[in-house]
Structure 1
Amino acid sequence: MENHVATELKEMLKKAQPLFTTKSCCIYKVPYQIRQSNKDAYTPVLVSIGPLHHGNSGLLSMEGQKQFYCQHLIQRSEANLSDMVSCVQQLEPQIRACYSEKIDLTADELVKVIFIDCCFVIDLFLRYYEGTTEDDVILPKNWMRTRVMFDLILLENQVPLFVFEKIYNLVFASRLHGGGFPSFTWLAANDYFSYYNKQGVLTPASNSIAHFTDLLRYFILPPSHKKPSRNRRPLVLGHSASELVEAGVKFQVNKSSHGILDLEFEHGVLKIPHILVGDFAEVWLRNVVALEQCHYPDDHYITDYVSFLTRLVNRDKDADVLIKAGIIESMISGNDTSVAKLINDVDKNIIVSNVNVSYLKICEDLKAYYKHPCHTKMATLRRDYFTTPWKTAASIAGIILLLLTAVQTVCSIFQVKCDE
């Protein structure tokens, strides 16, 4: 006779489902350990996009505005509403497979959520492109326009890019074939999110981008960017920015770089591209790092960059070194945090399997430079005698006194010889 517990287990295990399909999944809930350091950086404030935050009480006030935008897009569409909805219905299984979480919505409910959210974003992008502010409450208000843009780059607040494109291409079929109307990917990359496109990356192929968070990563790591090989050794620097300065290392802005990842060290000069540090930078950086943790576990170049900065900037005085060199431009206001804390918080609970070899080499070169006998003595001298204005003044006074004593001694010897 079969054990009743075994029977119950068998029935239970028949219903077992994997968390997500690895091949299809690209939209994730940020891991609990990562989001704890700043939950607000991963959570939409004004508008929910997609199913993961749909229905949140704090976001319900924007549902009417989303529906208004949706209605406006339907009115200007070349396709009728039935065809537009059918387009999303056909994609529903693919859409559902893109999320790491189980979506507790029926197929029809998910189609409605995706349809309204996609139409809202498409109409928003077109209004931004055309400069249309009539009957609009988002674009005319700077704070709301910026906050909505923040919400649209959050990893948990995404809809797959292919859905936007399918709807957009259906709505504007004849205009797109005419050649003068922009593609949806162009609107996203070269207009609405152009602020993040510091390198002027050309419009990406739509099949190379999963969603808007992935688009931000693409701006930093386009195909033209030569990706260094990777190594499983840990990233160890051993000396912070202020300690390296004591050893004679100079910090400069890397003006010849093609992006924030291009670090260089030679002839005692560490060159790092300019970066803005503040709430705006923190949101996109945190979400791109979270995406790499979940989706690019062996190809996390932006995470490597954050890890390097964390090892370089341990304390406020380390951040001051980079701020004075013009590398970091701080946009932080108030006393709740600091540049050093912000950088270190982004790196909290991040797990990496390998590291960019160019960063490993820079770390090795910096350690070798610091350990050179001349540089070690210089660091000791600066640390022991020139760390504060009072110590510097006292040390200079001591040196002057020593020189004067030496001069007096020499003069005394000459005087004795002359008297003889």
Structure 2
Amino acid sequence: MLPNLDLEYFQYLHFYRVPDDHKRGYEESFSPRLVSIGQLHHGKPHLQHMESYKLRFLDSYIKRMGCDFSLEALTTFAMKWINCKLPEDGRNISNDEFVKMMLLDGAVVVEVLLIRSDIRSIGMNKSLLVVMNLTNGIEEDLKHDMLLLENQLPLRFIEYLLSFLSEPITIYKLLLDNFNFGFAPIMASSNSFSTDFGCLSFVELLRRMITGIDKKIQCHGDYIQICCATQLLEAGVKFKGVKGHHFIKDIKFSNGELLMPPFIINNHTETLLRNIIAYEKCSKRNEYICSYVMLLHSLLDTVKDVDLLVEEGIIVNHFGRNEKVLELFNSFYTVKLEKYRSDDFYFHELCNALNTYSKSIWHQWKAKISKWKIILMRDYFSNPWTVISVIGAIILLLLTIAQTICSILSL
């Protein structure tokens, strides 16, 4: 069934230009490296080399299409989008060129996503990769470009192109194959995420996949600073990576245990997080991802904090040394994030509970006793011979004390 190209969809379709103050110092995370997708970066000189290759992507896409393809419907969709809310510098393009751009860029997105598809019948023609000399590095650059807030096509248009494949596949399945950040599948049986979840672009759908939140939830208050992970551990807080189907919304603090779903850190993480945060700022949506980054920024003060979260399965590091993970989250300067809407911190109550728990003298003493027990078990009771030695030493000490007392009493 083809996605419905209704007029109501276009009333909410809005693509954003990231403010300069948000880009400053991190322009690489917001700028396409190789290919323009959509109108905002169309025609940029440093992206022109890829334009000739777009025709090869389109040819590959056409060869795998079924018999229901409708150029007329595609043109109708493109012409509706040209009247949508776009920054003024994204409108200088003729109608014919706009339709051509939509089809070429859409084919690039579909074909790049299919590179990693595990469905052989629609997997990308590997000979195309050879002809275009698309090495893994260039494939990574293409995926980087697809995560940019300013480099997007309407999600429903991509779903529309996918619907013509000889063996249709959902955009959700392709995003899971290509951008795995460790969070669980949501409603994988859905055929249209632009319709079912109101997602307008990749950035918005990926945000939905990470947070697990499908509707606006009232956030609880201002940002609250907490101790780093190792300090919380010393204060009695336990950390646990929750396996299974969990999202950011499932982060909880209960009975002295902070439960967090695993988050995979890889080469795309910084680009994704920065662009989702920019989306939340521009769209005035609840700042769920911004809140999550601020939470991790608070927890990660030294490499030892990263080591702890990696050990507990909360961070899965595919990025390199743990020092690089620390540098990544330190680069998300908390004050800069906080200044946007400090009253929209999703983890206000959780951080408040963590602070209350960690300041308790009783919990601090319990943590120290537990630490001493671990040291004793590790250093003195790790095998039967050390246990026998310790018991022998205790008996010898008791006998020595008894002998001393008897000697004193006999005087």
TM-score, scaled relative to structure 1: 0.72
Alpha-carbon contact 1:289-1:303 (below 8 Å) kept: yes
Q: How many residues align?
A: 366
The residue aligned with 1:342 is: 328
- Among residues 167, 172, 184, which one is paired with 1:199 in the alignment? 184
Question: 2:30 aligned with 1:42, yes or no?
Answer: yes
Deviations 1:83-119 (A, max 9, x none): 477435632533xx33345325233343443332123
Stretch of structure 1 that moved more, 198-207 or 298-307:
198-207
2:318 pairs with one of 331, 336, 339: 331
SS of structure 2 residue aligned to 1:27: coil
1:153 to 147, 151, 156: 147
Q: Hey, what does 1:52 align to over in structure 2?
A: 40
Deviation at 1:319, TM superposition (A): 1.7
What are the within-5 Å matches in structure 2 for residues 312-391 of structure 1? 312-333=299-320, 338-346=324-332, 348=334, 349-350=336-337, 351-355=340-344, 359-376=347-364
2:173 maps to what in 1?
190
Q: Which structure 2 residue ranges, 5 or more long, are not aligned?
A: 1-9, 373-378, 380-393
- When residues 352 and 261 of structure 1 are mapped into structure 2, their CA distance, relative to the original with a 3 A threshold, is same
- Give 1:158 deviation, angstroms: 0.6
| Aligned mates of 2:29, 2:244 — CA distance in 1 | 31
Contact 2:113 2:178 in 1 (8 A): no
Taking the aligned partners of 2:52 and 2:209, their CA distance within structure 1 comes to: 33
Alpha-carbon distance, 1:282 to partner: 2.0
Q: 1:193 to 1:102 in 2, by over 3 A?
A: farther
* Equivalent in the alignment of 2:375: none
Structure 2 residue aligned with 1:133: 126
Please tell me whether the aligned partners of residues 25 and 99 of structure 1 are also in contact (alpha carbons under 8 angstroms). Answer: no
Distance 1:88 1:36 in 2: 35
| CA distance in 2: counterparts of 1:355 and 1:408, whole angstroms | 66
1:93 counterpart = 2:47: no
- Residue 27 of structure 1 corresponds to 15
Equivalent residue letter for 2:204: D
Letter in 2 for 1:362: L
Indicate how the Cα distance of structure 1 residues 419 and 92 shifts in structure 2: closer, same or farther if over 3 A, else same: closer
| Residue 157 of structure 1, CA deviation | 0.7
Maintained 8 Å contact 1:261/1:305: no
Partner secondary structure for residue 329 of structure 1: strand
Q: Is the 2:306–2:325 Cα contact (8 Å) retained in structure 1? A: yes
Equivalent residues of 1:251, 1:270 under 8 A apart: yes
Cα distance change on mapping 1:31 and 1:344 into 2, 3 Å: farther
Report the 3-state secondary structure (helix = DSSP H, G, I; strand = E; otherwise coil) of the residue aligned with 2:239.
strand
Cα distance in 2 for residues equivalent to 1:81 and 1:162: 15
Counterpart residue identity of residue 158, structure 1: Q
Q: Distance in 1 between matches of 2:62 and 2:266?
A: 38
Q: Give the SS at the match of 2:269.
A: helix
Is 1:213–2:213 an aligned residue pair? no
Equivalent-residue separation in structure 2 for 1:227 and 1:409 (angstroms): 72
For 1:326 and 1:168, the matched residues in 2 are separated by 35
Which residue of the partner structure matches residue 304 of structure 1?
Answer: 291
Instruction: Return the letter of the residue paired with 1:368.
Output: T
- The aligned residue for residue 386 of structure 2 is none
- Secondary structure of residue in 1 paired with 2:128: coil
Secondary structure of the corresponding residue to residue 270 of structure 1: strand
Preserved CA contact (<8 Å) 2:36 2:151? yes
Deviation at 1:80, TM superposition (A): 9.1
1:198-277 superposed matches below 5 A: 198-201=183-186, 202=188, 203=190, 204-207=192-195, 208-222=198-212, 229-231=218-220, 233-277=221-265
